Amino acid sequence: MATRTAKCVCGQLSVAVTGEPSGVYACSCKSCQRGSGSVFSYAAVYPISAMSVSGEHKAYRYTSDSGRWGEGHFCPTCGTNVFTLLEIQPDDVAIAAGCFADASFAPPSLLCWASRRHAWLKMPDVTELVDTQPD
- Residues near Zn ion (CB under 5 A) are 8, 10, 12, 27, 29, 32, 75, 77-78
| Closest distance of CB 2 from Zn ion, Å | 24
Which of 19/58 has CB closer to Zn ion? 58
| Closest distance of CB 1 from Zn ion, Å | 27
User: Which residues on adjacent β-strands are paired with residue 85?
Assistant: 71, 93
Which of 67/104 has CB closer to Zn ion? 67
Q: How far apart are CA 125 and CA 112, in angstroms?
A: 15
Q: How far apart are CA 33 and CA 118, in angstroms?
A: 10
| Closest distance of CB 32 from Zn ion, Å | 3
Give every CB contact of residue 133 below 8 A, 6+ residues apart in sequence: 27, 29, 66, 112, 113
Which of 29/97 has CB closer to Zn ion? 29
Which of 90/104 has CB closer to Zn ion? 90
| Closest distance of CB 109 from Zn ion, Å | 15
